[in-house]
Amino acid sequence: MTIPVKKIYPRTGDKQTVYLKNIISDPNIRVGDFTMYNDFVNDPLLFEKNNVLYHYPINNDKLKIGKYCSIACGAKFIFNSANHTLSSLSTYPFPLFFEEWGLDKKDVTKSWDNKGDIVIGNDVWIGYEAIILSGVTIGDGAIIGARAVVTKDVPPYTIVGGVPAKAIKKRFSEDTISRLLEIKWWDWPEDRVSINLKEIQNGDIDRLK
């Protein structure tokens, strides 16, 4: 089984759920196979406009999302250009209004602190209206609770929630987590994933083929 190159909707008659990879046009957004986004409020085809915010080309920051992720309605990814610099005596973005203040246009990005890309691992579930801030890396298999605000990195297979988001618990034992990170089933060919679906769904790592 393989996703057709331009297949957008995974389910017949469901226009609220999309394969995210196949609707992305921004080269600074990279999404893995089978990652899906559901939106019952807005058109999910407008993900780049409605969900990836302050992502201006001048900053060249990137959103990287792995394979088999599930992203719920209203989840937001807020990038560096939403920040204001904290190293200045003022948070006012003077370089952004270079014409007003006789500043050099090339220094526009000095208006904000650049914390880096947003990197989402594989098999990550991001809950309803969660917010992921610039510079955050979310590990494989993590779960982000509804309306959580993620300001720091999230380890693999960790459930986080709250404002700011904090660890609630690990999904599995450390041994199982280590084995999953070594197996990397999301990198398997689709036919191998299909053969192992029962074991994946039942949480039976010992019987993975």
Q: Which residues are catalytic?
A: 84
Give yes or no for a contact between 145 and 165, defined as CB atoms under 8 angstroms apart. yes
CB 112 within 8 A of CB 80: yes
| Closest among 61, 62, 56, 7 to 31, alpha carbons compared | 62
Q: What SS3 class is residue 166?
A: strand
Please tell me what DSSP assigns to residue 151.
Answer: -
Distance from C-alpha of 35 to C-alpha of 57, rounded to nearest angstrom: 24
Q: Using CA atoms, how far apart are residues 79 and 114, in angstroms rounded to an integer?
A: 9
> Is 141 in contact with 171 (CB distance < 8 Å)?
yes
Burial 23-54 (b: 16+ CB within 10 A, else e): bbeeebbebbbbbbbbbeeeebeebeeebbee
